[in-house]
Structure 1
Amino acid sequence: MAMTTNLGPIVQRAMLSGELLRLRRLAGKTQEEVARQFDWSTSKILRIEGGAVSVSTPDLQALLRLYDVTDATELERLTGLAKGTRERGWWQNYPLDSPDFRELLGYEAGASYIRQFEPSIIPGLLQTPDYARIIVREFVGDLGDDQVDALVDLRIRRQDYLADRDPRPYRFFILDEAAIRRQVGATLPHGRSIMPRQLRQIAEQSEDESMTVEVIPFAKGAHYGMRGPIVLMEFDADLGEVLYLENHRGRSRILTGREEEIIEYRERFEDLRTWTASPADSRDLILKAADEMEK
């Protein structure tokens, strides 16, 4: 499969907005001063520096002249970022109703490290097509076959995209034992093999040097993670971390930068590791669950 180093439009927009904020401050100018200089509204500067909108090439060139950026290499880099913000993300052809989930996919496309905890289901980045199909039907609601197929394809495309990146992002998954014990598909005709195949795929993937999978055994008792799933992403660029949260009602929110809540969840993720089995023991637990289901 073809390799890609593209960070995606959302990450490049965040990188560019951060650079423009830094350059404005370095130039000693306020947002109001910049707005007056170009007869723009202050909200336009706010939206550009907040990453809410892309910046056109003429506007970018005007800003860089004002900030006295003359180095050819730097100009080329920033212009390249601006061009990247206007590209279409691979996910934009799929029917997605959640703006937060679209943003998650955009940040995921350029993340260097992805941490995820799931208390009750297999994460989308690890799901087999058969497992994903059942989850989509149960979680998303009354959908036609074409819509289900599209959403299943989206999940597999996510996995392929990250696998094709060079270098691959490091992925660290923590699963509660409930996620590997629930026999998804077992009540369907010919469905008893779905979960064992899913588990064996996870065990195989966990041997990849760019991935870690750890399980919190039932024997560890109650823990903070039972409140809900957590996704944390970090980047090679100076963007801070991104936090994605989703509750049992399917409502989600995404936080970016260096907000205190992101730091708190980062610490909670590390705290969950005090409950997990080692990667090797987790793999054995996953394979044991698969064996028991097959019997």
Structure 2
Amino acid sequence: MARARSGPTEAHRALAGRLRTLRLAAGMSQRDAAEFLPGSVDTLRRIEGAATSLDEGQVYKLLRGYGEPAEKIEAFLGQVAMANLPGWWHQWRTVMDRWQMKLMGVEGAASLIRVWDPALVPTLLRTRSYARALEEVLRPDLSPAAKDARAELLMERQRRLAKQRTRIWAIMPALALQTLVGDDEVRKQILWGWTRRRRAGAWVAMRVCTSP
């Protein structure tokens, strides 16, 4: 049984991209290569687009069809199992938006991320209390547990980005500090969090913009 999908990891995207590169190097169109599979051209598109888990049998047939030598095929297949492992965010998949699942693998490989919000504190600069207060307003239909989980997911994203030293450039309107989200304590935690990041030397560059 196929595992529940939670979006491709960077390792999965890399192997899918290599399959496409090898097909092109072999001078084959997707229609040509689809002849090696029991499915269709759409099956190949999903494989190369990292939209489905990699099946060792299908990958083997494709590599053989592209004329790859046995030792390279063996090495490639050795990476398939790792590429099929779910991403760290898999445990939160039931409370994630579909677009977030596509974002996670890319975000984990980023060295620089630019963020902004027209009226709120940008996502990657939010504290747990700020994020949780927003969930109350934006997703009133969710259970308290789901709202807590979504806030915790954001905190885990921030921790991982800080650990991998991803630089964050944020643009935030001055209006964001006036937009009521939660109580005064939530606002104090936001300001304290920024001060803590600056003292810790975090790779965060922020610009607050005022209306002309």
* Partner residue, 1:205: 197
Matched-pair contact (CA < 8 Å) for 1:13–1:51:
yes
Matched-pair contact (CA < 8 Å) for 1:55–1:82:
yes
Cα deviation code 1:183-211 (max 9, x no counterpart): 432xxxxx323212202312432563532
Matched-pair contact (CA < 8 Å) for 1:174–1:216:
yes
Unaligned runs of 5+ in 2: 1-6
* Aligned ranges 1:36-115 → 2 under 5 Å: 36-70=35-69, 76=75, 78-79=76-77, 81-94=79-92, 95-96=94-95, 98-115=97-114
Matched-pair contact (CA < 8 Å) for 2:37–2:58:
no
* Partner residue, 1:216: 209
- 1:69 Cα offset (Å): 3.1
Return the alpha-carbon distance in structure 1 between the equivalents of residues 73 and 61 of structure 2. 15
Match of 2:57, SS state, is helix
Q: CA, structure 1 residues 75+202, in 2 after alignment: closer, same or farther (shift >3 Å)?
A: farther
Q: CA, structure 1 residues 31+143, in 2 after alignment: closer, same or farther (shift >3 Å)?
A: closer
Q: CA, structure 1 residues 197+209, in 2 after alignment: closer, same or farther (shift >3 Å)?
A: closer
* Aligned ranges 1:116-195 → 2 under 5 Å: 116-165=115-164, 168-185=165-182, 191-195=183-187
- 1:135 Cα offset (Å): 0.8
Match of 2:50, SS state, is coil
Structure 1 stretches of 4+ with a deviation exceeding 6 A read none
Q: CA, structure 1 residues 84+122, in 2 after alignment: closer, same or farther (shift >3 Å)?
A: farther
- 1:70 Cα offset (Å): 3.5
Return the alpha-carbon distance in structure 2 between the equivalents of residues 37 and 134 of structure 1. 52
Matched-pair contact (CA < 8 Å) for 2:47–2:54:
yes
Residue correspondences, number: 204
Q: CA, structure 1 residues 194+40, in 2 after alignment: closer, same or farther (shift >3 Å)?
A: closer
Moved more, 198-207 or 128-137: 198-207
Cα deviation code 1:246-270 (max 9, x no counterpart): xxxxxxxxxxxxxxxxxxxxxxxxx
Match of 2:207, SS state, is strand
Return the alpha-carbon distance in structure 1 between the equivalents of residues 161 and 141 of structure 2. 29
Match of 1:114, SS state, is strand
Q: TM-score, normalised by structure 2?
A: 0.82
Matched-pair contact (CA < 8 Å) for 1:24–1:30:
yes
Aligned residue type for 1:89: G
Structure (1/2) with the larger helix percentage = 2
Q: CA, structure 1 residues 128+80, in 2 after alignment: closer, same or farther (shift >3 Å)?
A: farther
* Partner residue, 1:29: 28
Return the alpha-carbon distance in structure 1 between the equivalents of residues 206 and 109 of structure 2. 21
Aligned residue type for 2:209: I
Unaligned runs of 5+ in 1: 1-7, 186-190, 222-295
* Partner residue, 2:4: none
Moved more, 151-160 or 57-66: 57-66
Matched-pair contact (CA < 8 Å) for 2:60–2:73:
no
Pairwise CA RMSD: 2.5
Aligned residue type for 2:178: R
Matched-pair contact (CA < 8 Å) for 1:31–1:46:
yes
- 1:170 Cα offset (Å): 2.0
Return the alpha-carbon distance in structure 2 between the equivalents of residues 148 and 177 of structure 1. 27
